[in-house]
Amino acid sequence: MNYKEEYMKIKLEEIKLDQRLLKLRPINLAVVSNYRQSYRAGNKFPMPIIEKGTNIAVSGNHRVSAMIEEYGEGQEIGVIVKEYENRAELLKEFAKENSAHGMQLAGYSKREITLELLGLGESQEEIASIFGVSVKKIVDWGGLTVVVRGAKGKKEYHAMKHGLEHMAGQEMGADKYEEHRIHDRGIPIWSQANQIIRWIKDGWIRVDDPKTKKALTELHAELKNLLSKEDVA
């Protein structure tokens, strides 16, 4: 990855946080808070990397967010400016940077990036080298996907979080996928159920808490409905 590189001063308000990149690896507010405290303590961080011409933050979304909160959008900072040949080259830099330091990419993010890079024509070997994994792992990541149909009927392949391996290859609506992407954790249902069972047995659940009681009541009703269907089948 030999990109043209230069250095410059720029105001934080001029740096753009790209929504497509943030969708691949969302901003973690806890990390932003920790970085902000580190800046306040005088700690030094690597300069953010931005794309020449667009000012898109390729590396440093959390650092930029923390500095905006700490110093304000008018603060001028030093950045590394790079020019990329195409989207694939920018995405590879994004993946490489976020695999090497800072907040590490989650498995879901790696799978989403893998799918996009494969769609852009990158080889499995090249992607494997970015993440430091085997080609077999890239094949596995590419397999844990669902077909998402958008508003205009366009089909796209997106990664699923662990626990839903049995959904691989199936189709779902964009709204359901967004719900999964934002709210679900990559934990198998049997593991989540075992935790609830253990907490109940150990007396760790406060049934007098309104939110807890409401959620458990709804869970009880859904489980009853689900298991009654299973009994009929």
Work out whether strand 155-159 and strand 76-83 pair parallel, antiparallel, or are unpaired. unpaired
Instruction: Judge contact between 143 and 159, C-beta under 8 A.
Output: no
Of the three residues 88, 104, 120, the one that is the final residue of a domain is 104
> 100 and 1, same structural domain?
yes
- Residues 219 and 178 both lie in one domain: no
Residues 50 and 28 occupy one common structural domain: yes
Please say which residue of 104, 131, 154 terminates a domain: 104
What pLDDT is recorded for position 139?
85
Residues 195 and 182 in one domain: no
Pair (98, 3) in one structural domain: yes
What does the pLDDT profile of the chain (233 residues) look like in tens digits?
Answer: 555 789 999 999 999 999 999 999 999 999 999 999 999 999 999 999 999 999 999 999 999 999 999 999 999 999 999 999 999 999 999 999 988 776 778 888 998 999 999 888 898 899 999 999 999 988 888 888 888 887 777 888 888 888 888 888 889 888 999 899 888 988 899 999 999 999 999 999 999 999 999 999 999 999 999 999 866 55
Instruction: Determine the Cα–Cα distance for residues 226 and 223; give it in Å rounded to an integer.
Output: 5
With beta carbons less than 8 A apart as the criterion, state whether 38 and 45 touch.
yes
Last residue of a domain, one of 67, 83, 104: 104
At 35 the pLDDT is 96
Q: Are residues 142 and 222 in the same domain?
A: no
| CATH code (residue 8) | 3.90.1530
Statement to judge: residues 8 and 100 lie in one domain? yes
Question: Which H or E run contains 4?
Answer: strand 4-11
49 and 60 together in one domain: yes
Overall number of domains in the chain: 3
- pTM, two decimals, is 0.71
Q: Residue 19's domain spans which residues?
A: 1-104
Q: Are residues 112 and 95 in the same domain?
A: no
Predicted confidence at residue 121, as pLDDT, reads: 86
Query: Is 19 in the same domain as 80?
Result: yes
Q: How many CA atoms lie within 13 A of 162 on its CB side?
A: 13
